[in-house]
Amino acid sequence: MTNETHPGHPAFSADWWEQHYQERPAGPGAPGPQLVAEVADLPPGTALDAGCGTGADAIWLASRGWQVTAVDASSTAVDRAKELAAQQDPGVAQRITWLTADLTSWQPSHRYDLVTSQYVHPDLPFDKFVARLAAAVAPGGTLLVVGHDHADTHSAAHAPKAASIGLDAVVKSLPDAQWEVAVAESRTREVHHDSKQLTIHDFVVRAHRTPSP
């Protein structure tokens, strides 16, 4: 991504994401390291991967026994994800339902034991987006939100300003009476990009909805 937006495609509309994936090379990816760190020990249940991209996270969850609904605004991304899932063990592919939908308006038909959203930057205020994600978590379930922290200078230089989010934008969307915030922190990870090693800053929020009385 660059600081420029395509004419008529404000970042981060569904059209913007579609063009982004059309211009991006196809290929398998690894599950997000923060997802692996925060979810590996959870017992599998139902999961919503909100903004699934090309499917690495959804495939990882399904391989661990989760029944996954994977949603993205880009049909190109979802088509690639389906192709990658088809290359896995049949049991993995069968545990994933793929949907092309705009997360700013799509309404899930039920709530999930896990809702995860990583590096998703919708075309609306991020706290409102988090509130939409939180509403999809079942009582006793888990919400995991990961994104580019304000401290991440690489992302700030290569993406629209709205791609960087602070922890407060997530946490303030989770009322204390309904949520226990287990993790709310910034983390660093090392990545290789254009033959260079970069330090990337992620915000990570993991919260648990209180069970119904």
Q: Which tens digit of pLDDT belongs to each residue from 147-204? A: 888 766 655 555 555 556 778 888 999 999 999 999 999 998 877 766 678 788 889 9
- Please tell me the predicted confidence (pLDDT) of residue 9: 40
Backbone φ, ψ for residue 127 (5° rounding): -65, -35
Q: Which tens digit of pLDDT belongs to each residue from 9-23? A: 455 666 766 776 766
Domain ranges of the chain: 14-209
Distance separating alpha carbons of residues 172 and 131, to the nearest angstrom? 9
Contact status, residue 77 vs residue 54, Cβ threshold 8 Å: yes
> What is residue 54's three-state secondary structure?
coil
Assigned CATH topology for domain 14-209 = Rossmann fold (3.40.50)
- Please tell me the predicted confidence (pLDDT) of residue 4: 37
DSSP E strands in the chain: the ranges are: 46-50, 67-72, 96-100, 112-118, 137-149, 164-165, 179-193, 196-209
**Residue with more model confidence, 116 or 28:** 116
- Please tell me the predicted confidence (pLDDT) of residue 14: 67
Nearest alpha carbon to residue 80 among 33, 133, 123, 18: 18
Nearest alpha carbon to residue 171 among 125, 131, 117: 131
